[in-house]
């Protein structure tokens, strides 16, 4: 038997993952289920597991910060990250050779991850650091404002709109800033920030503020404050991939 720990802040996800492991992987014993990274660290030191199923997006600490709690010699257990990240951010995990399960977790993918763990062991600390660097978003953008540069936090941006050689930046507080920069310049700057998606030749949206998506009339996104943004036909499938769909 191999010992495993689940670190996951959502109760339903904890129950589901524990259940499918116990049902389909009888060689793994779940010795602890933890709600956050600090309690998970305590459980790891206590139980010394062979494997840790580690959620990434959790309150206070994200799963990738586990490298801050152990030195390289202590990271002698396997880690399978569980994540709802979109397809672009997933590339960071592939590039860094980290094992991951995309939520909602598929049983066959779970078995494949376990098989990979059984057949190869590797030093993971450098890989986690690399993935964290790839996923680290640019938190601010600078735009000209007279003789000054105005620093805007990206989390405050609802969307950006192109207007010929200008771009208007629309904030969640209702303010708008216009700058003489092409939208492509901002797209390049935000390419490593998984919250932003160019849904149309004239628009980049912050997916954190998407309320709904309609396929009618060529495709339309409704943002907070009931703002409607068009979606190009060739971008609709990419947009849907940003979100977890409930399978019938």
Give residue 96's pLDDT: 56
Give residue 81's pLDDT: 87
Give residue 204's pLDDT: 95
Give residue 248's pLDDT: 38
Residue with tokens 């499938």: 237
Give residue 108's pLDDT: 93
Task: Write out the chain's pLDDT in tens, 248 residues.
Answer: 899 999 999 999 999 999 999 999 999 999 999 999 999 999 999 999 999 999 988 887 888 888 878 776 778 888 888 887 665 456 656 655 578 888 889 999 999 988 888 766 555 666 776 666 666 655 778 777 666 778 888 889 999 999 888 899 999 999 999 988 889 888 877 876 778 889 999 999 998 899 888 887 778 999 988 899 999 988 887 777 666 544 43
Q: pTM value?
A: 0.53
Give residue 150's pLDDT: 82
Give residue 246's pLDDT: 41
Three-state secondary structure string covering the chain:
CEEEEEECCCHHHHHHHHHHHHHHCCCEEEEEEECCHHHHHHHHHHHCCCEEEEECCCCCCCHHHHHHCCCCCCCCCEEEEEECCCHHHHHHHHHCCCEEEECCCCHHHHHHHHHHHHHCCCCCHHHHHHHHHHHCCCCEEEEEECCEEEEEEHHHEEEEEEECCEEEEEECCCCEEEECCCHHHHHHHCCCCCCEEEEECCEEEEHHHEEEEECHHHCEEEEHHHEEEECCHHHHHHHHHCCCCCCC
């Amino acid at each position: 038997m191999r010992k495993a720990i689940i670190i996951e802040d959502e109760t339903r996800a904890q129950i589901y993952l524990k259940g499918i492991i116990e049902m389909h992987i009888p060689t793994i014993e779940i010795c602890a289920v933890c709600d956050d990274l600090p309690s998970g660290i305590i459980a790891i030191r206590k139980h010394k597991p062979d494997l840790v199923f580690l959620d990434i997006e959790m309150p206070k600490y994200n799963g990738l910060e586990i490298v801050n709690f152990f030195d390289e010699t202590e990271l002698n257990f396997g880690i399978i990250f569980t994540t709802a990240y979109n397809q672009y951010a997933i590339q960071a995990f592939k590039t860094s050779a980290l094992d991951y399960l995309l939520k909602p977790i598929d049983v066959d993918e779970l078995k494949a991850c376990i098989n990979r763990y059984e057949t190869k062991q590797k030093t993971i600390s450098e890989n986690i650091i690399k993935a964290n660097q790839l996923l680290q978003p640019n938190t601010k953008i600078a735009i000209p404002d007279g003789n000054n540069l105005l620093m805007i936090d990206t989390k405050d941006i609802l969307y950006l709109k192109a207007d010929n050689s200008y771009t208007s930046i629309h904030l969640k507080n209702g303010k708008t800033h216009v700058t003489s920069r092409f939208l492509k310049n901002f797209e390049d700057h935000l390419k490593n920030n998984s919250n932003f998606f160019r849904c149309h030749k004239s628009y980049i949206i912050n997916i954190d503020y998407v309320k709904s998506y309609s396929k009618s009339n060529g495709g339309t996104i409704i943002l907070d404050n009931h703002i409607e943004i068009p979606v190009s036909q060739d971008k609709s499938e990419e947009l849907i991939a940003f979100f977890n769909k409930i399978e019938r």
